[in-house]
Structures are given as structure tokens and as C-alpha cells.
Structure 1
Amino acid sequence: MSINGNANTEVTDATPLLSNQSRSKGASFASSVFNLMNAIMGSGILGLAYAMASTGIVGFCVLLVLVSSLAGYSIHLLLKLCDQTGINSYEDLGGRALQKPGKVLVAVAILIQNVGAMSSYLFILKSELPAAITSFLSPDQSGQTWYQDGRLLLILITLCVILPLAILPKIGFLGYTSSLAFFFMLYFAIVVVVKKWSIPCPLPQNVTTFLGVYQVSNSSDSDCTPKLFVISSRLLSGGLRRGRKLKGQACLSHKLTPSKARMQNVTNVSISLSFLVYLVSALFGYLTFYAHVDSELLLGYDAYMPRDILVMTVRLAILIAVLLTVPLIHFPARKATILLLRGNRPFSWPIHITTTVVILGTVLMLAIFVPDIRNVFGVVGSTTSSCLLFVFPGIFYLKIGRQPLPSFDSVGAMALVVFGLIMGIISFSIIIFTWIQSS
């Protein structure tokens, strides 16, 4: 988060440590909340209803509460360490705990995690944005036009929107774009609630839409009863993958706040609001389609409510929200890269611009030319996200913290490490098993 020494300046990539002066004030509370929420949320909100269908209402809520609570607790430990040591950088905490290898390990994990996330988001934009634009046009309109070329659209929005926002040295300004992205997510949740009563149950079958044929088989009255808890092959793969969306705290906590209490409040508010939007979206999406909910929720609305203006606008809103998330998660990726290459040297505009262009160029090439980019980084993300959110904070606290081993926080730190390792191994194994099974 942004750290500054007065009300009119904000932190840049060059701010390595907290001084007494820089502890006085920071970016606005609202800006910090919106930035953190934007990092937490994203396109994963489209699959929450599918996760609830995979786990049941109670199972989903238990998983979401568990991951949210542990994520908040991991941030609590990191903030406690920052308060004790005066360090405000996630990478520098790794250096204090594990010397130079720890610092490099954290920076590499942040870089891989965020490059993967940016590549996945751009891949989604390349795939979905042309269809979203076409949905607003007349069905009679034919012919290939420039806005139906996903690669061309991706290059244009990268140059015209993402690059200008990403090249900014101050993260505080992105609070404005993050607030817009959050309101788009909130709009999505409201539309899901409203449309609950617009689609009948049991669902019609073999519905033809402008996106193709959408089929529902064996839909009956018994399918219109919500399941409280489901044990199926999709339980862990659906629940854990969506639960990992709360990885955003670890990705943004590399730049921690000057006030432990203030940042703890930012974290609590961000996680609580994200939890609420997640739960509402998942619950009403599931209660609309039940067991037949699609892994991408909007596909179901497209089938049964073709060319509905609310559905079309909410699809475009989600894509814009995803677009506005890319510059935000680029910030820690760039900082990690500069730290690996130059250490904590003073800020340099040539290095800043060059690193920004190289990272965005790499991400753009991956999104355009790698067809299975989301699967590749799904494997990487299953390990790096668990490490950043659970394993590293626990290990760092055990190495740096001044609490005796039997204390509550020490035991909690050990529990975080164990949970993170188990979660990462299970997620990784499920992804590999799914690949083998599908092949």
C-alpha cells in the first residue's frame, strides 16, 4: 500500500523502509481499501456459483470463512512483524528472516504469481471482449471487423489503457480505478440477485443463443432444491481454486502501511466487503441454476435471457473490472523485478519505464501466443499463492517474532505453514490429475 511522508505525496517503487516521518501518514483509507479489494476480486467471481454447486451452500461458506479468516490472520502476523522491525516491504521481511535467499524467494514468488495473473486476465480479455462488444450490435450485422479480433483489441487496450496506468510510479492513484472496478463487481452481484426470479426452474433444454447451443439435460423439479453440503469430485477443485482468490492480500502486502492498526482496518474492511460480494454472487447464482450452473455464470444467462441488456452490460462491466486490475497487480511485479536486478537503489525513471514495458510486453506475448496460459499458471499459482498467503508469513513470524513458541501467535504461525503446504499440494495434485484425466 502507499506510504508517504506528508498528505500530498505518495510512495513510489523506490521507497524501501519506513522512517519515522513516513509513519505519519499514508494513502487515503478508501484508496487502500479499494486497491486491496481489487487485488482480491477479479474474473474468479464468475465461477463462485459453480464452486457452491460443487461444495454445497454450507460447504462453500465454511471454505470461504476458513480461507478469509486465515488470510486476515496472515496479514495480522505480517503487520506485527513490520511494527516490530520497522520494515515495510514483504521482500525485506524475507531478507530479515532468511537472509538474501529469503528476499529473492519472496520477490520471485511475487513476480511469478502476478505475471501469471496478468497473463490470465489478458487472455480472458482476448477471448471474451470481442463477443461482449458484438452482443451490443445488430444480429443481422455480418462480416469480420477490427473489434472482433481479440488480439488486436488486446494490443490496443494494453497500449491505450493498461500501459499509461501501469507506468505511474504511485499506487495511490490506482485507488480511483480500483473503486470503479469494485462498483462493477457490486453491479454484477446486484444483477445476479435480480435475475434470480427471471429464469424458471426446472430449466428448459437445448436453448440456442447467439453464442451457440447451450444444453441442459435431465433437469427436473428435484434439481430445484438447494444442496447444503456436496461431496463430489468437484469439491476440492471447485472450492480450493476459488478460495485462493483471496491471495490478493499477500500480493499487495509487499508494500505495507505505516500504521499497523490502520492497515489492519484496511484488511478487515476489504476482506469483509469482498466476502459479502462473493457470498451474494455465489448464493443467488447457484439458486438460479442449481446443479446446472456453468463454470462461467454469465453463459447461463446468455442462454436463457439472450440479448438481455442487464446481462450484456454486466458482462462488459466485469471485463472492464478485469482490465483495471492488471495495472494494480503489475505494481508489485515491477517492484519485485527491480529489487531482484538493482536491490534498494534510488528510484530511476529509465529503469522504471524499461521494466514496465518489458513486463507488459512479456505478459502480452504470453496472452496472445500461449493457448493454454491459464492452465500453465494454474499450476504455478497453486504453489506461489499458498506460499505468499500462508507459508511465508508463518515462517517469517517464527523466525523474526519475539513471542515464545507456546504463544498463540507462534502456534498460529505454525498452523498457517501447515495449512499452506497442504493447500498447495492438494491444489497442485488436483490440477495435474485433471490434466491426466482429460487427456
Structure 2
Amino acid sequence: MSVFNLSNVIMGSGILGLAYALANTGIILFVLLLASMALLALYSIYLLLKCSKETGLMVYEKMGQRAFGTPGRLAVFGATFVQNMGAILSYLIIVRNELPLIISYLLGGESSIYCRAWYLDGRFLIVLVTVFLILPLCCLRNLGYLGYTSGFSLACMVFFLIVVISKKFEYLCPLSAHNESLYNLTDRLSNLTSKEEKCKANYFVYHSKTIYALPTIAFAFVCHPSVLPIYSELKGRSQKKMQLVSNASFFAIFIMYLLTAIFGYLTFYETVETELLHTYKSDSILVLIVRLAVVIAVVLTVPVLFFTVRSSLFELFKKTMPSLALHIGVTIILLVAADIFVILIPSIKDIFGMIVIGATSANMLIFILPSSMYLKLVKKRNRTRIYVGIFLGLGILFALITVPLVIYDW
């Protein structure tokens, strides 16, 4: 159950943007970046577990408080809140955008008299999903119970991966799934030269968009705010056992990320869109089922992330054992606020998108906070401190490179 929960936290909307990141880096550079970020994220979890063992603390915010006082607690809360709420909002955006298309297709498509019905409005549907699915799961007080829903969520994403792989062999040389009807035998023969050029895989790519692959990949591996809550509920808890849980989760997700990105890219090459799901032809029944699987997966991921957001909020106000009424009340308020943002601000995904979160809070949670807390809390003088210092330097360098680029792009 711990592996399911941690894998579900790692897996998210980040998987939809990795094929586009690969298109902007090339296959070899992307594989190197993906493997490096996975190993670095795992190392930062190792540092977190070391800090937990050294201090006996099982809460990220309390570690920040022990290391740097109130500024440390606020830094952990800020990074956790931005990362997880940003991810939750992006998941709700996916539900709002995809669910009406799925239901509309089931009712007969755009030509149907039902396609413009009020109950197919994404804003209404997101409220409905929140009330009847997300809210009951978010009201659970024990994270362990969500292991079952996390397992089902991961199964949906495995199905998504299988379809992505199968579609590669269905399209011989497509330039866009929206125009896939153009790619018959006659077209392939008459436009062979141009299509060969556009359907050629690149192994190394460097241009103005290449640097944006870094925060996208970083965003895809952030799970650190949920590590300690999962660790605290692990049976027979030990640092070694939690590290094994982390290793298994990261290895499984790394393989899924790698296969999804490579096969998604080799299906559409340079025409792949920023969100892979949008590149496929929307009136295919198989793609419809995939869209539904992704919607189910992100809906079942929201409660796991929400658990950490709520716990972090309680820790900020030092409410370690909140009453049931407060627990449910805060849950409702946060979900209402999230739904209002998703309903009223259509560009919220741009604000809380993978690039912005990856360049800011993801960098804090992967690099800066674990390494700086280790240097402050673990007093042993050994060679490890040198490695941790280098690791902290990488985080600072990452911020110096990506944050100015995001600001410049704005």
C-alpha cells in the first residue's frame, strides 16, 4: 500500500508533458535528464529519512522548525502548499476539460442535441465530481486506506501507457492525430520526402525551449511532502524499509515515464503537443477510454495530495490532533476554494503549470530543503556533508537558470 501511495503521488499530470519535453531535448539527452532527476530525487528522500532518524521527527514542517525556526517551517509549508495545490488544480483542470468530451461522445457526439446541455458544462461536472468522489475520499483521516484507490489509479495510467505504445504502431508516419485521415498510402507515397524529414527522431536537440524540459522533469518526480506521512504509517517502520518503498516506486514510475515519453514522441515527433493526450484524434473509441482512464487516475490522486496539504496547514497552526469537525470543515473549505479557482480562472494551469512549479517549489522540495536541513540537523562530520553541499549547490544553480527564464518568458 505504501508503494501504491508513493507511486501515485509521483505519477500525475507530469506524465502528459514528458513527450513534449523529449521533443525539445532529443532522446539521448532526455533519457540522461530523466535518469539523473530520478536519482537526485531519490537521494533527497534519503536525506529526508536521515534527518527524520536523527531528530525523531516524522513531520516535514517540524523538521524545518527544528533546523531554521519559524522561517524554516514557513518555507516547508509554502513549498508544500504551492506544489500540491498547484498539482491538484492542474488535475481538476484535466477533469473539467476532458469529462464533458467523454460524456458528449457517449451521448452521440457534437451532432447530438445533448452536446450543449447544461449538465455537460465542465464547471458543473467538476463540482459534481468533487462532492461525490473527491470529498468523501479526502475526509478519510488515515492515508493507508487510500492505498486501494492509488492502486486502481496506477492501473489506469498503465492502461494509458499501453495505448500510447500501441498507437505508435498504428500510425506509420503521422504529423498530427487531428489530421490522421490524411495519412493514407497515397499521401505517404506522394509526400515521402517531407514526411521523412518531419518523422525523423532527434537524439540531441538544443534551442530556446530545451531548458524548459528541466523544470518539467523536476515537477514529474516531486513526492517529498508525502514521504514522511507515508513513512509514519508504514508497518514495521524503518529507514531501510522506507528507502525500499521509495526505490520500488521510483523505478516503476521511471519506466512508465520513459516509455510514455519515447513512444509518444516516436508517434508524433515534432508535432507532439504540450499535453500528449490532446495530440491523439478525439473521436477514437480507444482514445476516449484512455481519456476516461486518465480522468479516473487524476481524481483518485487528488485525495493523496490533499492529505499532505491539509496536514501541512494544520502543522502551520500547530493543530496536531484536530477534531473531526475541524478536519471536515477545513477539507470542505479547501475543496470549495480549489473549485472556485478552476471554475473562474481558465488560465490557472498556466499559472500553476509544470514549468512554474518545477522551477520553484519542486526545486525547493527536491534540492534545497532536504540538503540544507541535513547540513543543519545531522552533526556528523564526514564525506557525506561534502556531497550534500554539492547537492545544495545544484539546487541553487537550478534556480538561477530556470527561474529567470520563466520570468523572461512571462
TM-score over 0.5 for the alignment?
yes
Matching residue of 1:297: 276
Offset from partner CA, 1:155-202 (integer Å, 9 cap, x none): 000000000000110001111111111111111111111111111215
1: CA distance, partners of 2:66 / 2:45: 17
Within-5 A mapping of 1:30-429: 31-139=1-109, 140-143=111-114, 144-201=116-173, 203=175, 207=179, 219-248=194-223, 250-255=224-229, 256-257=231-232, 258-302=237-281, 307-344=283-320, 346-378=321-353, 379=356, 382-404=359-381, 407-429=382-404
Note if contact 1:87-1:93 (Cα within 8 Å) is conserved in structure 2. yes
Q: Structure 1 CA distance, aligned partners of 2:68 and 2:12?
A: 32
**Which residue identity lines up with residue 276 of structure 1 in the other structure?**
I
Relative to structure 1, the CA distance from residue 240 to residue 204 in structure 2 (aligned partners, 3 Å threshold; closer, same or farther) is: closer
Deviation at 1:124, TM superposition (A): 2.1
Distance 1:208 1:220 in 2: 13
C-alpha contact (below 8 Å) 1:178/1:324 kept by paired residues:
yes
Deviation at residue 381 of structure 1 after TM alignment: 5.4
How much has 1:309 moved relative to structure 2? 2.1
Greater relative CO, 1 or 2 (CA 8 Å, sep 6+): 2
CA spacing shift, 1:328–1:206, aligned 2, 3 Å: closer
Further displaced range: 375-384 or 180-189: 375-384
* Deviation, structure 1 residue 334: 0.4
Report runs of 4+ in structure 1 exceeding 4 Å deviation: none
Give the conservation status (yes or no) of the 8 Å contact 1:116–1:381. Answer: no
Q: Kindly indicate whether the alpha-carbon contact (under 8 Å) linking 1:285 and 1:297 is maintained by their aligned counterparts in 2.
A: yes
Q: Which secondary structure does the structure 2 equivalent of 1:420 belong to?
A: helix
- Distance in 2, matches of 1:292 and 1:331, equals 38
Separation in structure 1 between the aligned mates of residue 66 and residue 14 of structure 2, nearest angstrom: 34
- Give 1:421 shift: 2.2
Relative distance call for 1:86 and 1:205 in structure 2 (3 A) is closer
Q: Which letter does structure 2 place at the counterpart of 1:309?
A: I
Distance 1:416 1:168 in 2: 37
Unaligned stretches of 5+ residues in structure 1: 1-30, 210-216
CA distance in 2, matches of 1:396, 1:417: 10
- Retained in 2: the 8 A contact 1:55–1:239? no
- TM-score, length basis structure 1: 0.84
Match of 1:434 in 2: 409
AA matched with 2:255:
L
TM-score (norm 2): 0.90
Is the partner of 2:172 in helix, strand or coil?
coil
Alpha-carbon shift at residue 109 of structure 1 (Å): 2.2
Number of aligned residue pairs: 391
Corresponding residue of 2:186: none
Q: Give 5+ residue unaligned stretches, structure 2.
A: 182-190
Please state whether the residue corresponding to 2:290 is helix, strand or coil.
helix
Structure 2 counterpart of 1:221, which letter? Answer: E
User: 1:147 and 1:60, CA in 2 relative to 1: closer, same or farther beyond 3 A?
Assistant: farther
3-state SS in 2 of match to 1:247: coil
Corresponding residue for 2:185? none
Q: Is the 8 A contact 1:133 1:147 kept in 2?
A: no
1:59/1:147 Cα in 2 relative to 1: closer, same or farther (>3 Å)? farther
How far apart, in 1, do the equivalents of 2:74 and 2:345 lie? 27
- SS of 1:230's equivalent? coil
